[in-house]
Chain A
Amino acid sequence: MTEFAEPHRRGRLKIFLGYAAGVGKTYQMLDEAQKLKHQGIDVVVGYFEPHGRQDTIAKAEGLEFVPRRTITYRASTFEETDVEAILQRRPQVCAIDEFAHTNVPGSERAKRWEDVQVLLDAGIDVLTTMNVQHLESLNDQVWQFTGIRVRETIPDWVVKQADEVVMVDLPPQALLNRLKRGAIYSRDKARLAAEKFFQESNLVALRELAMRQTAHEVEVRLGAPDETDRPAEDADDRPSPAIAPASDRILIFITDDPSTAALIRRGRRVADYLKADCFAVFIHPQIDLQGLPRAQREAIERHLNFARNLHVETRVLQGENVAQALVNFARLHRITQIYLARPRQSSWPRLLGRNLLGQVVRLARDMQVTIVADRRRGQPPQG
């Protein structure tokens, strides 16, 4: 019975990370595919978007392509990765462009990264590409400095799962030159040149973000020594500072307020950097959510779902006194930081929020309370 049972091996995931269209992610992915093929490894291309770029098209030459699947949606046809066909073909390695892509409705899975999970589960190694701005936890920051709300996002844990993240770098000036020469997006370069992402300050900022993110990914895989909040090494005999937990544990307080999404992203991001456990709670006077107005209930459910998608453990608690229930839960679970959204200005729930915030700060005498700001748009760059 064990005769054919190989130990199950999950496929390895390698991500080529860039900061804008045209930096050369696809080119590098194909270059790697070519090298692997040259080494005798069975490689196919599962999806590749040439955008009419000659260098990239030339790089794909000689590689085997798995034909795409055609899907008809609202009388138009779309082409998507054919996961079934790749599984049947069973290559060792599959190159799939644009990790953050959203599949057309009617596809088996909503997101391409979910398609990739299926391939990885089947033991196929995957090479893929993405830009740093597609990372879920950076969504607010990217919006803050570019004014662009990126819609196609990838949860951070998916990227964290990758065995390797490689930065594909190109100085912004060189990228802008490429754009001018028409090497990128020859068809609609005029439109793109005007696009906000291609303003130099945005490119510089995104590039820095990509470098820092890649450094972080390298560090996570390096398994840096786990330091924790320690009392200062200090010879004087004042009592140790109050906080010296074994490790950080973050608790996000969920409400129906739209700022909750940004709060969850921020809490998740900080937790990742601090290697902290991350939880989220919604507290309600009744046992179940049915008593709430529909819009409110849906917002809460959306936020809880969003948190779960980011691998944040969620709970719905019952409690008459919300602040007290929150702090009690935090204490019980050895939480070191409670994350709350800043009450918004000039709206009546603000008073309520202020009261709650005040109560939490007063009650949480043994833990930190972080009030997360609504990230607002910075001054847009000139020109």
Chain B
Amino acid sequence: MVKHGVERPDPDKLLRQVLAEERYQARGRLKVFLGYAGGVGKSFRMLDEGRRRKQRGEDVVVGAIQPTVSAEVAALLQKMEVIPPLTVDSVPVMNVEAILSRYPQVCLVDGLAYDNPPGSRHRKRWEDVEELLSAGISVVATVNLQYIDEQRERVEEITGKHVEHTVPQTFLSNADEIEVVDAPPEMCRQRSADAPLQHGAAAEDVVGGQEQKLSALREIALLLAADVVDQQLEAYLERQGIEQLWGTQERILVFVTPEVDARAMIASGRRNADRFHGELLVAYLAEPDLTADEKAALEISLTEARAAHAHIEALDGEDEVDTVLQFARSRGITQIFVANRRRDDWRERIFGGLLERLILTAENMDVRVFPQ
């Protein structure tokens, strides 16, 4: 449903929008190349983009490069203007001041996850980048999945390697553009075999040869990018006043009621959501006049839902079916799980009651009926 612009615009809100728009226009744009491991070709893709932008007449400099680069990357660097790094405690640090005074349109930053030595302008390189963006310089940067703070734990489980320096995931999701650098694992192995030996604590670590590990990382990187894109899509739809009705991601809603043993439904919902890398929601009607037994039964389901890391929602509404479906539509649900209740009430026992109405009115979503 399109929200109609019939209500009067709020002048304060308009002003805030204008200011936000001005701030946005004054800021540089951030583009991030996300790779799942060293050697997928992030640096090359970033520099290649820099080269193309330069050809199109943009003023591009290189603000930071990796300590070691492949021959391919070195050849590209030849064609670019590089702002030499500062050396602090024999560690190369991006020279923010020099970049600011040079004031290019675009600055390339290879590797976001570096901690600057004490006494530097900022503690972290991504904070340096933040300053460039605020000053109106656009940045094209690369980052490797394993340095995303929120992903670190999962990645470490796979690689067995601990990384110190990280970038917060919000930095990535707030980027104007994110681009996945995808390549099959064998390519990484080849490239890293070609590349000179890696050294330095912060040097992009080439993950060991096992294809399995690399594939696992690759999957995480793709799903992370998909989530970032999904947020962008939601923001876009919101700006355009379009209600979400898309099916880009599976969203499963388990509807629980006091008289239902929902554990099988929730377990199955979790597994289905995992398989689709989708979301799991559990909803129930907030009814004030439940008996103690009913409350206890409902609580068993909700405990299960919390254990399954579901988003739990208490719904308010007169009509059960309408309330659930309205909620489902507002959340872009693709599958509803419900129990086939067998109350001793004759109307409920016969198909034709609430369940039938739910099935017949649930548009654009599948209804999965669980036996009890």
A residues apposed to B, CB below 8 Å: 14, 141, 144-145, 164, 166-171, 173-174, 200-201, 204-205, 207-209, 211-212, 214-216, 218-219, 221-222, 227-232, 234, 236, 238, 241-243, 266, 273-275, 337, 342-343, 345, 354, 357-359, 361-362, 364-376, 378-379, 381-382
| Complex CA–CA separation, A231 to B179 (angstroms) | 40
Bound CA span A372–B237, Å? 26
User: Does B31 have its Cβ within 8 Å of any Cβ on chain A?
Assistant: yes
Q: Per a CB cutoff under 8 Å, which of B229, B263, B350, B359 touches A204?
A: B229
Closest B residue to A370 using CB positions = B368
Given contacts A141-B248, A166-B182, A212-B248, 8 further A-B contacts (CB under 8 A): A169-B181, A201-B236, A208-B249, A214-B222, A275-B275, A357-B359, A371-B368, A373-B364
- Distance, CA A345 to CA B360, complexed state (A): 8
A89 to chain B, nearest CB (A): 26
Contact residue among A205, A209, A243 (Cβ-Cβ distance under 8 Å from B264): A243
- Ordered by A's residue number, 28 sampled pairs between the chains whose C-beta atoms are within 8 Å are A141-B247, A144-B246, A166-B183, A167-B180, A168-B182, A169-B182, A174-B177, A201-B233, A204-B229, A205-B248, A208-B248, A208-B249, A209-B248, A211-B222, A211-B226, A212-B222, A212-B277, A215-B222, A216-B277, A218-B218, A229-B268, A230-B267, A275-B275, A354-B360, A368-B370, A371-B367, A371-B369, A382-B242
Write out the residue numbers on chain B whose beta carbons fall within 8 Å of the beta carbon of A365: 371
Partner of B177, one of A173, A273, A373, A382: A173
CB distance from A268 to the nearest CB of B (A): 14
| A222:B179 contact, CB within 8 angstroms | no
**Which of A221, A241, A366, A382 contacts B261, CB < 8 Å?**
A241
CA distance A134 to B241 in the complex (A): 29
B245→A361 contact, CB < 8 A? no
Residue-wise, chain B 351-370 has the 8 Å CB interface mask toward A (1 for contact) of 11001100110111111111
> Quick one: given A368-B369, A372-B366, are A215 and B219 in contact (CB under 8 Å)?
yes
One of A145, A231, A366 near B247 (C-beta < 8 A)? A145
Question: B179 — which chain A residues lie within 8 A by C-beta?
Answer: 169-171, 174
Which residues of the partner chain A approach B181 to less than 8 Å between Cβ atoms? 169
Closest 8 pairs between A and B when the two form their complex, measured CB to CB: A241-B264, A378-B245, A358-B351, A215-B222, A211-B226, A171-B177, A167-B182, A169-B180
**Interfacial residues of chain B within 234-272, with CB under 8 A of chain A in the complex:** 236-237, 240-243, 245-249, 261, 263-264, 266-268, 271-272
* Alpha-carbon gap, A241 to B254, bound state (A): 15
Residue of B nearest to A166 (CB): B182
CA distance A216 to B266 in the complex (A): 23
**Is B216 close to A, CB under 8 A?**
yes
A218 adjacent to B340 (CB under 8 Å): no
**Complex CA–CA separation, A211 to B218 (angstroms):** 11
Q: How far is the CA of A164 from the CA of B243 in the complex (A)?
A: 36
| Chain A residue at smallest Cβ distance from B267 | A232
**Is the beta-carbon distance between B242 and A201 smaller than 8 angstroms?**
yes
Q: Mark B107-138, 1 if CB is under 8 A from A, else 0.
A: 00000000000000000000000000000000
Contacts of B370 in A (CB 8 A): 243, 368
Tell me if B90 counts as interface (CB < 8 A to partner A): no
| B304 CB contacts on chain A under 8 angstroms | 232, 234
Which chain A residue lies CB-closest to B351? A358
Contact between A358 and B356 (Cβ–Cβ < 8 Å)? yes
The answer to whether A218 and B248 touch (CB under 8 A), given A204-B233, A232-B304, A241-B263, is no
A204: chain B residues within 8 A (beta carbon): 229, 232-233, 236
Chain A residues, CB < 8 A from B183: 166
The verdict on B6 contacting chain A, using a C-beta distance below 8 Å, is no
Q: Pick the contact of B230 from A144, A208, A241, A374 — CB < 8 Å? A: A208
Q: Are B263 and A376 in contact (CB under 8 A)?
A: no
| Bound complex: CA A173 to CA B29 (Å) | 12
Is B371's CB under 8 angstroms from A367's CB? yes
> Which one, B233, B241, B267, B272, contacts A382 given CB within 8 A?
B241
A22 to chain B, nearest CB (A): 14
Tell me which of B212, B232, B233 contacts A222 (CB under 8 A): B212
Asked if residues B236 and A243 are in contact (CB atoms below 8 Å), the reply is no
Q: Which residue of A lies closest to B368 (CB)?
A: A370
**Residues of chain A lying within 8 A (CB to CB) of residue B243:** 379
The answer to whether A211 touches B229 (Cβ under 8 A) is: yes
CB distance B371 to A366 under 8 Å? Answer: yes
* Contact in complex: B212, A232 (CB < 8 Å): no
Which of A222, A230, A273 is B215 in contact with, Cβ under 8 Å?
Answer: A222
* B18 vs chain A, min Cβ distance (A): 21
Q: Let me know if B188 is at the binding interface, CB within 8 A.
A: no
- From 156 to 196 in chain B, residues with beta carbon under 8 angstroms from any chain A beta carbon are 176-184
The answer on a CB contact under 8 Å between B219 and A219 is yes
Q: Is the CB of A164 within 8 A of B222?
A: no
A273–B273 Cα gap in the complex (Å)?
Answer: 10
- Chain B residue contacts of A168, Cβ below 8 A: 182
Contact across chains for A273 and B275 when beta carbons are under 8 A apart: yes
Q: Is B225 an interface residue (CB 8 A)?
A: yes
**A274 contacts B275, C-beta separation under 8 Å:** yes
Nearest A residue (CB) for B303: A234
Minimum CB–CB distance from A266 to chain B (whole Å) comes to 7
B201 at the interface (CB under 8 A from A): no
CB of A232 within 8 A of CB of B266, answer yes
